[in-house]
Amino acid sequence: MWATSRSAFGTVGLALTMALLTACAASEYEYLSWKSSDPYNGGRGYGKPPQCVDIPDDLRLCHNVGYAQMLLPNLLEHETMAEVKQQASSWVPLVHKNCHPGTQVFLCSLFAPVCLERPIYPCRWLCEAVRDSCTPIMEAFGFPWPEMLTCDKYPQDDVCIAMTQPNATESTKQTGYSPICPPCDNEMKTDAMLDHMCASEFAFKTKIKEVKRENMDRKVIFQKRKKMLKAGNLKKKDLKKLVMYLKNGADCPCQQLDNLGNQYLIMGRKVDKQYLLTGIHKWDKSRKEFKKAIKKLKTHKCPAFANVFK
């Protein structure tokens, strides 16, 4: 759903290291104003004290973030590694969307905080920059920015995790953002396709009959004949008359919707009373990655998006 730029994270890693060196050298006074809302200092009581643990390879969100150990419990009050993995896995697709170059650093500063004597939170401006750049991508898939990541609870002036200077946010935002409609990313890598699938409630194979503009969305009407691959809560009677919408997709490029002669793998989910198009891939089993994704579809274990994006 939501491929990470190695060069971008080289810059991120350097900036993060500098921020952490500053944090290590900071005086105790600099932490005082942030202590009151810190779960490690007077906040929620944990059953066990925080400890340093290795970031496991299967914590996909953060295993290449630039440091090897993390605090557990983390800054989102996840007390076990199993809980961290389950919650963090829902965010991997968003990092893959490159909506902002600081997305991984921001998320990992909370899910897998660097192991220091005192927890260091992300800067508020970094949260706001990631939120503002990535929310349109999330909304295209029917997910809001969650309350657990409300930016005004993060520090403005204290020592905090940063990626670039605040006045560089506009340029970094534009660099990371892709104008292609998010569900229309034509990347045929197996993991990306499975991410699209996991963010969807149902999937089927069909041809497109017609595409219309409706306000700021695109309305997609399908041929009657469809082959169901993942039913979810979609019933047969709903499938027959199914109409889907590309949310806020009236003006962004979607190559697939310009060619109505192909068969497509269509993915979607119901949000309120609308069926949203969350992924569209040309049906092409001659491509190894596509064939592999279709084969994995039945056994692939997806993260529980519904438990995270509330």
Rounded Cα distance, 39 and 229, in Å: 44
pLDDT (tens digit, 9 = 90+) per residue, 280-290?
Answer: 989 988 888 88
What pLDDT, on a 0 to 100 scale, did the predictor assign at position 260?
86
Tokens of 154: 């993060």
pLDDT (tens digit, 9 = 90+) per residue, 184-243?
Answer: 876 667 877 887 788 788 999 999 999 999 999 999 999 989 999 888 888 888 888 899
Identity of the residue numbered 129: A
Rounded Cα distance, 143 and 34, in Å: 30
Q: Where are the domains of the chain?
A: 6-176, 182-307
| Contact predicate 38/119, CB 8 Å | yes
Q: Where do the DSSP E strands lie in 45-110? A: 51-54, 69-72
Answer positive or negative: Cα dihedral of 67, 13, 5, 75: positive
State how far the alpha carbon of 138 is from the alpha carbons of 111, 132, 176, 290, in Å: 19, 11, 15, 24
CATH number of 182-307: 2.40.50.120
Rounded Cα distance, 99 and 59, in Å: 21
pTM of the model as a whole: 0.71
Taking domain 6-176, whether its CATH number is 3.40.50.2030 is answered by no
Same fold yes or no, 6-176 and 182-307? no
Low-confidence ranges of the chain (pLDDT < 50): 1-46, 165-177, 306-310
State how far the alpha carbon of 145 is from the alpha carbons of 97, 118, 215, in Å: 15, 27, 23
- Which residues lie below 8 Å from residue 196, measured CB to CB, with a gap of 6+? 1, 93, 183, 185, 267, 278, 279, 281
Burial of 18 (0-12, 13-18, 19+ CB in 10 A): exposed
Rounded Cα distance, 53 and 39, in Å: 18
| Contact predicate 109/122, CB 8 Å | yes
What pLDDT, on a 0 to 100 scale, did the predictor assign at position 106?
96
Collapsing DSSP states into helix, strand and coil, what is residue 223? Answer: strand
